[in-house]
Structure 1
Amino acid sequence: MTVSAIITAAGKNSRMRNDQISRGISLKNKLILPFHNKTVIETTIDNTLSSNVDECIVVLGHYSDEIKEAIFDNYKDSVKFIENNPIDVGLSVSLLNGLKNINSDFALCVTGDQPTVSGETFNKLIEVCQNSDNPKKTIAILRRRKIGLLDTAEGLGMPFVSFKNNLIKYLENENDNLNPILRKIFSDGYTFYGIKEKNELELMNINHYDDYLKLLNSF
């Protein structure tokens, strides 16, 4: 099965900006904060490209010029960049725009603020979906609570692997966060399989400045 990666990098960065203002430090999008000789999003992209994907698309929106200025030259030959229009949309729209631009049957869906998720874990997601009894109705997802066959989609988000065309159907006409949509997919009888993280840091997104400092100092 062919797999394309979609990395969403289109958010408002509101919580990070508020933290930076309260600390009196320079405003900078969280995705281009330094992260061990790279930026946060470059680390996410590199981990994604190290997995068994056939292509990688980064979806931009808010602060697209700032992000592209920081990373475009390093990835123009290995990553396709697309931009939301309009930009003020929910995560579901960003993901849908990415899905409409991939060539593969399956999608590895990642957020740009997950620099600690390894290529090894991405490959586990791909393998579990690929080897399931019905890959088109299976979502392999990084666990939040239980491991293995899941009995709920509560609290789940990216990264995950899903069949592209089915996921598009659920995202069309939505403008929302992802979890309510995943719960709807689960209620329709899809198999959700939770993959164990390589380490606890893989379960963290960078939302606040303290999240960034914790990952920076622990990774």
Structure 2
Amino acid sequence: MRILIIAALGLVLLTDETAFGNPMTPTGLFVWFGLLGMTTMAAGRANRMGQAKQLLDCRGKLILQCVIDNALQSDLDKVIVILGSYRSEILKRIAFKEAETLYNPEYESGQSSSVLCGINHCKADESALFLLGDQPFVAQDIINLIIKKHKSQKPLAIIPTCERIMGNPVLINSSLYAELKNLEGDIGPRKILRNKSGVCLLDVKNQSILQDIDTPEDWQNS
């Protein structure tokens, strides 16, 4: 079985609501898993950082490069990077390797536009994994844990957790695409998962799923 991932940079998921009894943590990027490969969305504006955080150095490598390399080294079959803000500079400085790129001209309208951009590039039988572009420490083993759970149990969605806190990346079954297409504004895929049965909370026992780089302080402490 193949898996598709979509990752978005510089976007903020829900920060003030809860689901499944656990707090939602703020995130700057998101990724989707599908049956064909991986898509990484890097279309956000990085308002809180004040610059293209995708291109900041993180332990000797650019943040977005870390995310793409981790995905390519995992069991994913395909990677698609969705670009918006800072597109030209990102294209010049990031080595996409086997990853494809898409452009989201509506990125200023919020992360839902990047969700739609990714979904429209997926086939009807492809599930999607949202991998956050500002989470360079989500390593291939974490991605592979989610893939393994998806292959073995086929849940409606998978949300990784650590110490009962939900993080990213989130896996969405293709059966939810129609609902995702109704999202508007700065809303991410977890919006549609509230009160749904068949959602798997997967304890990965790793803090990296909760760690993103949204502010200069986050970057300095990374």
* Pair 1:138 & 2:156 matched: yes
Pair 1:16 & 2:55 matched: no
Matched, 1:42 2:65: yes
> TM-score scaled by structure 1?
0.77
Question: Contact 2:159–2:168 (CA<8 Å) still a contact in 1?
Answer: yes
Unaligned runs of 5+ in 1: 18-27, 147-154
CA displacement at 1:209 relative to structure 2? 0.8
Are residue 203 (structure 1) and residue 210 (structure 2) matched?
Answer: yes
1:138 and 1:193 in contact (8 A); partners too: no
Q: Pick one of 152, 169, 179 that aligns with 2:178.
A: 169
Mapped to 1, the partners of 2:82 and 2:162 lie a distance apart of 24
Q: 2:103 maps to what in 1?
A: 83
Instruction: Name the counterpart of 2:76.
Output: 53
Residues 78 and 95 (structure 1), Cα distance of their counterparts in 2 relative to 1, 3 Å cut:
same
1:41, distance to aligned residue in structure 2 (A) = 0.3
The equivalent residue for 2:12 is none
Identify if the C-alpha distance between structure 1 residues 173 and 138 changes in structure 2 by more than 3 Å, giving closer, same or farther. closer
- Aligned positions, number: 188
User: Structure 1 stretch 52-61 or stretch 89-98: which is displaced more?
Assistant: 89-98
Q: Percent sequence identity over matched residues? A: 26
Q: Which has the higher strand share?
A: 2
* Contact 1:92/1:178 (8 A) holds in 2: yes
Structure 2: distance between partners of 1:11 and 1:60: 8
Q: Give the partner amino acid of 1:196.
A: V
Structure 2, unaligned runs of 5 or more:
9-41
CA 1:31/1:162 → structure 2, altered by over 3 Å: closer, same or farther?
Answer: same
Q: Which moved more, 1:113-122 or 1:59-68?
A: 59-68
SS of 1:141's equivalent?
strand
Q: CA RMSD of the aligned region, Å?
A: 2.1
1:74-104 superposed Cα distances (whole Å, 9 cap, x missing partner): 22x4111101122312212212211322457
